[in-house]
Amino acid sequence: MSNQGNIELLGATLAKAKSEDRAALVAYLPAGFPTVDGANEAAKAIIAGGADVVEIGLPHSDPVLDGAVIQTADDIALRGGVKIADVLRTVRETFEATGVPILVMTYWNPIDRYGVERFTAELAAAGGAGCILPDLPVQESALWREHAAEHGLATVFVVAPSSRDERLATITAAGSGFVYAASLMGVTGTRESVGNEAQELVRRTRTTTELPVCVGLGVSNAVQAKQVAGFADGVIVGSAFVKLLLDAPDEQAGLAAVRALAGELAEGVRRS
């Protein structure tokens, strides 16, 4: 029996949030930022504040989905020499310290170069729950999905308002864990409002799947988290956490800030 990842824990965590009449709070942080150890501490602080699930980003030189804030953090991580081994270490250490499901969010090219079999085996061994793959076309994903399933890892695909209904059905049929609904066209970053596009996308996605639907891109405060929690199974927040770490005068201040924001967002995702 090979190492098994934590897709079941991910499912149970999302189901538990639903049973408590709230959306799950899903937080995103890039590995290696501000340092490898700093990213580990930040992930633990966000979980202490109330995050249910954490996505660890694998920094990429051309992050097409990500806005300026995450690109800046990725640049710092890459200049610091972050490697896939460091990403896996962050997954392992965060999971061992907290028991919370940890996913990796990554573009396809680094995994392709590293080797699908090797990456899935090592992610499962680190206690990972799966991967979010924003740029892997579903029709080219069979090899990945085969190895991910073998190792007990979720394959989370991203849907967008531009996805047509038949395309949505294809994507959600191939995915597992949850569906990542990008709330608007364009890149990540904080937004003034997370609008009706997101709600309509969630509605359309739900007609195709029983998987939970989590909404990301644009949520940065408790008011927006509450708005999204009104129609989604999970609320994904990334840039707002990264910005606090970028703007902090020192590491301790950054950790306190992200923990506090996680606490506010965790309140926000409660529906009652």
Distances (CA, A) of 120 to 79, 124, 170: 26, 6, 23
* 55 noted as active-site residue: yes
Does residue 17 contact residue 235 with C-beta atoms inside 8 Å? no
Does residue 268 contact residue 222 with C-beta atoms inside 8 Å? yes
Q: Which of 8, 21, 52, 55 is catalytic?
A: 55
Estimate the crossing angle of helix 36-49 against helix 239-247, to 10 degrees.
Answer: 120
Q: Which of 66, 86, 93, 233 is catalytic?
A: 66
- Among 232, 235, 231, smallest CA distance to 216 is for 235
Q: Return the DSSP state at 140.
A: G
* 140 noted as active-site residue: no
DSSP assignment of 88-121: HHHHHHHHHHH---EEEE--HHHHHHH-HHHHHH
Q: Determine which helix (DSSP H) or strand (DSSP E) holds 142, and give its type and residue range.
A: helix 142-150
Rounded Cα–Cα distance for residues 77 and 71 (Å): 10
Rounded Cα–Cα distance for residues 14 and 25 (Å): 9
Q: What single letter denotes the amino acid at residue 233?
A: D
Give catalytic residue positions.
55, 66
